Every structure is written in C-alpha cells, then in structure tokens.
Structure 1
Amino acid sequence: MKNLTKALTVGAITIATLLGTSTLAHADTTTSTGKIKLEADDSAVTPLDPTNPDAPTPAIPDSSDPGNTGTGNTGALTIDFLSNIDFGTQKISGKSQTYRAVNKNPYIQVTDKRGTGAGWTLTATATDFTDGSKILKGSQMSLIDGQVRTQSDNQSAAPTTSDITLNNNAQIVLSAEANAGMGTWLNVYEGTEGNNDNVSLYVPAGNLAGDYNSSITWTLEDSPSAD
C-alpha cells in the first residue's frame, strides 16, 4: 500500500511539472492611445535671463538697461528683447578711439512658436550717430562673438550667429535654417561690465563734442537667408 501511495504522489508531481501552472493562466493584451494637438501661439514672450535661460525670469533682463522690460511683441515669430547699447561718457581724444559698451550682457531674444520649422533670419541696420545736425563722422558700431543660448531642454537645432558692423545696409545677425531656431533663443554678447570687448564703437579723431545717438532697426523675417 505504501508503494502505491508513493507511486501516486510521484505521478501527481510529474504531471504538475509537465503541465506547469502557466497553462492555467489567461493573458489579455490590448492598446489605448494618447493624443495632443500642437498649434501656433501668438502671445508675448517674457525675456529670459541671458546668463542662465533656465533660471526664473529676471526682473531686469539687462542690468545696464533697467528700464527695458522687453518689446511686448505678439505673434508666432517675435523679437522679445533688445538691449539698448550704452558707450558711456568719453573724453575727446587727439587720435581715433574704440570705445566699449557699458552693458555686461547685452542680448537679443527671438521666439519661434509657428511650429512649421520654416526657419527665419534676423537682420539689423543702423543710422549714423547724430546730435541734431552734427554727425559722428566715420564711426562704426560692431557686435562680435555672440553666444547663442536657450533653455536646456529645447529639442531644436540652434540658429547661427554672425559678427557684424552696423551700417545702413541690412546685416544678418542670426539665421535659423529649416527645422532650426524653434522655441526661444538668445544671442548674448557677454563681456566685462563697463568695458565689454564684444560690443564696440570706433570713433575717428576730428569729431565734435556732443550727445550722439544711433537708431538700430531689427527685422525678423519668416524664412532662412538666401545667402
């Protein structure tokens, strides 16, 4: 009888092992969906911190330009911020001089919220420096070594920055090829406060004293440059 009991027990274990417990379970697989629709946005964009675009929005974007809080421009492709450049008060010299901007981090901010990947081009022109009827003869304002920055999680390719000497002809400052420059981008001319080597004004000798100003016009076009 004991031998019969052992035989039955071994047989039951063998059958359970061969069949396995998985043969008794039922698996049911199906799918669901997630969806989102992205569309262009035409609201204004707040200026970002030029030293750290991931930081909370600064109360004063450019500390050398405290009254400037941004353009407030609306649309799907916008210029959000432009620093006003200050070269301070200088003594007339007997020879030609190059003066440096007071601004430590002057910058330009552009946002593309079209969602088309069409690219864009930012150009600039400048008038002569004038004081009433007087012209600052032969002067040249230059912007060099711009640093293109954005928030760290931006998935778009970056636009390209160019060194420029401003005059009355349109100069390309930033250019985004197709599928580049989407989101918010900054072009920062970072330098030393009070003596920024990257933003300069050349003034030849032989000019009159005066309080001179130049008007810079920035144009953002909704396609890459043909150049």
Structure 2
Amino acid sequence: MKKYIGTLVAGMTLMAGLPLVGQAADKTTEAQVKLEQDENNKDITLDEAPALDMGTVTIDNTTQTKTADAVTGSVKVTNPGNTDGWSVQVAGSKFLNGSQELRGAALTFKNASVTADDEANASKNPTAPDVTVNESNQMILGAVANEGIGKFTSAYAKTDVSLLVPAGNSAGTYTSTPTWTLGNAPS
C-alpha cells in the first residue's frame, strides 16, 4: 500500500509541475519566392536538329517506303522561362541529283518521343505532330503559352523517319536539305 501511495504522490507532484495547455489556435503564414529571368540567358534556342541517312533503295519499278538507316541527333530546344509559347518548324528542299528531281518523294517524321531533359520539370511537354516534309514550313515541335519551359528533346527512332520513293525514278544519289526554324509562338 505504501508503494501505491508513494507512486500516487509522485505522479501528482509531476502533474502539478506541468502547465495547463489550452486549445492551440491555427496560424497561417506565407512562403514566398521570386524567380528572375537571367538577362544573359533569356532567349529560347534551337540547340540541335537531326541529320538523316536514308541509305540505299534498289529500284525495281515499284513504289517503296524506306526507313532511315541512321538518325543522328534530335530536335532539342531550351526555353529558360519565356511564357509566350514557341514552335520548331521544318521545310525541306526537293530531293535532287544535280538538276534531276526524285519525283514524288515524301520524307515523313512520326511518333516522336518528347521528353524533358530534367525529369522533375513541372512544365507540360511540347507536342510533336507527325509531319511529311515539303517546301513549306510545318510545325514539328511546339509548346503553347506557359508550357514547354525548360530543356526538351524530341527524338526519332530510325523506323519513325521514312522516305517514300515512287516508281518511275532513275538511279542516282539524291539530296534534300531540311531547314529547321525556331519561332516564338506555336503555329
């Protein structure tokens, strides 16, 4: 019984030394950060565009579609924080062997894999529609306003770049020169 009373007295003494706590009121505070544009690094840039090796097609009087033997590089864009949106357009010259044209040829890009170079990027990825290149500019990669901020890569597998070679063309080495143009707004 003495042990019980001793424990009871010790417990009450301990409780008497503790202050009474009323219900705590909630507090709301503010956290703030200011992001500033680096004046020396404020322009959107087209950092890379792919080079293509379409290989060799053995002509046999039938229309053929040839996938690329090699796609070297990707479409790479850096946007350090501009919010207006942007686009990369591509236009291609005719496939020529001297003055002889590869008639009816169609160079196509499809199924681009678009990724942010930084996996934690909170901006929405740009879009990359399928494109059949001709002599007019066509959007191959673009971001709407307030998106596409950061570094992005649009990559094509060899099977996603193809050249339609119609029957009725003669043998020779034909070359086209795609031109890649960065614009400040999506088209």
Shift of residue 116, structure 1, vs aligned partner? 2.8
CA contact (8 A) 1:40 1:76 kept: no
Alignment-derived partner of residue 20 in structure 1: 18
Amino acid at match of 1:147: S
Whole-Å separation in 2 of the counterparts to 1:42 and 1:203: 46
Shift of residue 15, structure 1, vs aligned partner? 6.6
CA contact (8 A) 2:87 2:185 kept: yes
Q: Secondary structure at the match of 1:85?
A: strand
Match of 1:90 among 16, 37, 57: 57
Higher relative contact order (CA 8 A, sep 6+): 2
Whole-Å separation in 1 of the counterparts to 2:130 and 2:160: 9
Alignment-derived partner of residue 119 in structure 2: 152
User: What runs of 5+ residues in structure 1 fail to find an aligned partner?
Assistant: 1-9, 24-30, 44-74, 191-195
Question: Which of the pair is proportionally richer in strand?
Answer: 2
Alignment-derived partner of residue 182 in structure 2: 220
Amino acid at match of 2:110: I
Alignment-derived partner of residue 124 in structure 1: 90
Whole-Å separation in 2 of the counterparts to 1:89 and 1:41: 48
Whole-Å separation in 1 of the counterparts to 2:151 and 2:69: 26
Alignment-derived partner of residue 104 in structure 2: 138
TM-score by length of 2: 0.79
Match of 2:43 among 53, 56, 76: 76
**What count of residue pairs does the alignment treat as equivalent?**
172
Whole-Å separation in 1 of the counterparts to 2:15 and 2:134: 88
Alignment-derived partner of residue 55 in structure 1: none
Whole-Å separation in 2 of the counterparts to 1:202 and 1:20: 85
Amino acid at match of 1:84: A
TM-score by length of 1: 0.66
Whole-Å separation in 1 of the counterparts to 2:49 and 2:39: 21
User: What runs of 5+ residues in structure 2 fail to find an aligned partner?
Assistant: 1-8, 22-28
Amino acid at match of 2:108: S
Shift of residue 141, structure 1, vs aligned partner? 0.4
Shift of residue 204, structure 1, vs aligned partner? 1.0
Whole-Å separation in 1 of the counterparts to 2:67 and 2:184: 32
Question: Residue 209 in 1 paired to residue 166 in 2?
Answer: no
Amino acid at match of 2:186: P
CA contact (8 A) 1:105 1:188 kept: no
Shift of residue 95, structure 1, vs aligned partner? 1.2
